Chains A and B, each alone.
Chain A
Amino acid sequence: MPLDASLLVQMLLGALLGLSVYLPLRAGQLSLATPGFYAIGGYTAALLSTRFPALAGDGALYPLPSLLLELVLAALIAGALALAIGGPVLKLKGIYLAIATIALVEILRVLNLNLGFTGGATGLFAIPQPFEGPVGYLLLSLAVLALVCWLCARLERLRLGRAMEAIREDELAAACMGLDTARVKLLSFLFSALVAAVAGVISAHFLNTWNARQGSFDASITTLAFVVFGGSRTWLGPVVGGLALTALPELLRPVGDLRLVVYGLVILLGPILFPQGLITPELLRRLRWPFRQTSAEAPAP
Chain B
Amino acid sequence: MNTAAPLQAPLQAPLLHLERLSVRYGRIAALEEVDLEVRSGELVTLLGSNGAGKSTTLKAISQLVAPSGGAVRWRGQSLKGVATETTVRLGIGHCPEGRRVLSRQSVATNLELGAYLRRDHSGIATDLERCYGLFPRLAERRSQLAGSLSGGEQQMLAIARALMGRPTLLMLDEPSLGLAPKLVAEVMGILAELHRQGLSILLVEQNARAALAIASRGYLLEAGRVSRSGSATELLDDEGLQASYLGR
Contact = CB atoms under 8 A, between A and B. Distances in A.
A301 B143 contact: yes
Interface in A131-171: 159, 162-163, 165-166, 169-170
A169 B103 contact: yes
A261 interface: no
Contacts of A298: 106-109, 142-144
A301 B105 contact: no
A107 interface: no
B221 interface: no
A216 B194 CA distance: 57
Contacts of B96: 172-173, 176
Interface string A180-202: 11100000000000000000000
8 contacts: A165-B102, A169-B104, A173-B96, A176-B84, A176-B88, A176-B100, A296-B105, A297-B106
B165 interface: yes
Contacts of A172: 64, 96, 100
Main secondary structure, interface of A, reads helix
B89 interface: yes
A256 interface: no
What interface size band does chain A fall in? 20 to 34
Given A177-B161, A177-B165, A180-B83, A170 B89 contact: no
A178 B85 contact: yes
Interface in A65-115: none
A299 B105 contact: no
A179 interface: yes
B116 A159 contact: yes
A69 to B, nearest CB: 38
B84 A175 contact: yes
B30 to A, nearest CB: 16
B83 A173 contact: no
A176 B62 CA distance: 8
A174 B109 CA distance: 13
A179 B161 CA distance: 13
